Amino acid sequence: MTVRFALLGAGRIGKVHARAVGSNPDAKLVAVADAFEKAAKELATAYGAEVRTIDAIEKSKDIDAVVICTPTDTHADLIERFAKAGKAIFCEKPIDLSVKRVEKCLAVVEKAKATLMVGFNRRFDPHFAAVRKAIDDGAIGTVEMVTITSRDPGAPPIDYIKRSGGIFRDMTIHDFDMARFLLGEEPVAVSAHASVLVDKKIGEAGDFDSVSVILETASGKQAVISNSRRATYGYDQRIEVHGSKGMVAAENQRPVSIEVANDKGYTRPPLHDFFMTRYLDAYAIEIASFIAAATSGKKAAPSGADGLVALKLADAALKSATTGKTVRLDK
């Protein structure tokens, strides 16, 4: 069965998902919608699709699934509309910036019995997935501590920061999901510190650009997250999991993995410089997983519930950072 897709939003992440859909033999991009007609037309033309309005896509009989890449404040409304319309839904994170709004949205999805996957693409990265497999295979015993490093080559535009919900809901939210994915237990305590070290304009916009978070589970397992909006050496994405019998880690990735040794010493190529190239394989595997869920009727993962938990952790981290106190989620 070929799943017929509509793409809502033709921005940079929309282009990434269009490529993932277009490269999958079990998928076809049928329609593209965007507030900017030129962007929609260019992307639709590249994949042999049509430009349609969201209203038209909602009523279309030749659309099985939608990929939502529109601004965050439209996500929950669109999820509800397409759940009621009987479409399978893939939505970029977050579902909304309000926990209550997300809960209301998920109730609509549940009532409609719709398929919903939330875009936490890092779970599908082959290297991070291999770390999870090593844990499942018992290679390092019982997980005790997780260390996640995520640093961007540069900060996004200030206008984006103002509407993104802040670093915890925009950037660290990926790491909250990865921490849950690797810990195997739900965090019940969140302690966070946040600063403005990269660009004072980010602070003036009401956000932070450098944060550290410690998550703790009921059994005492810990995850330590380090985030920065600046990494002069490229897109820094590393994880390490320490267990009772050993350790497993995923190193930074490069466009090519070579090492040159000469009179200047040992040198390697620079890291990927953007998330769209670093996680290219992850996006393709993610869409394949969504297609499998949509066609089998099985629950998609990461689910809407996963998105809700990650948002609750982001809210707790922000509260901790601004109050200087550990925030407990089990009370």
Domain boundary assignment for the chain? 3-114, 123-275+310-328
Residue of 223, 204, 221 whose CA lies nearest to 213: 223
- Element of type H or E holding 262: strand 260-262
Question: What integer pLDDT is reported at residue 276 of this predicted model?
Answer: 85
- Sequence-ordered strand ranges (E) for 100-256: 116-119, 143-151, 187-195, 210-217, 222-228, 236-243, 247-250
Report the C-alpha gap between 8 and 175 in whole angstroms.
Answer: 25
Average pLDDT over the chain reads 97
CB 206 within 8 A of CB 164: no
Q: For 123-275+310-328, which CATH superfamily applies?
A: Dihydrodipicolinate Reductase; domain 2 (3.30.360.10)
Q: pLDDT band for position 24 (50/70/90)? A: very high
Q: pLDDT band for position 297 (50/70/90)? A: confident
Task: Please state which architecture CATH assigns to domain 3-114.
Answer: 3-Layer(aba) Sandwich (3.40)
What digits encode the pLDDT tens for the residues 302-327? 999 999 999 999 999 999 999 999 99
* 59 dihedral zone (left: phi>0; alpha: psi -120 to 50; beta): alpha
| Amino acid at residue number 176 | F
| Over residues 48-73, mean pLDDT | 97
What digits encode the pLDDT tens for the residues 110-144? 999 999 999 999 999 999 999 999 999 999 999 99
Q: Which residue has the tokens 């909250």?
A: 176
Residue of 124, 102, 252, 231 whose CA lies nearest to 177: 124
What digits encode the pLDDT tens for the residues 254-279? 999 999 999 999 999 999 998 889 99
Question: What integer pLDDT is reported at residue 331 of this predicted model?
Answer: 79
Q: How many CB atoms lie within 10 A of CB 191?
A: 17
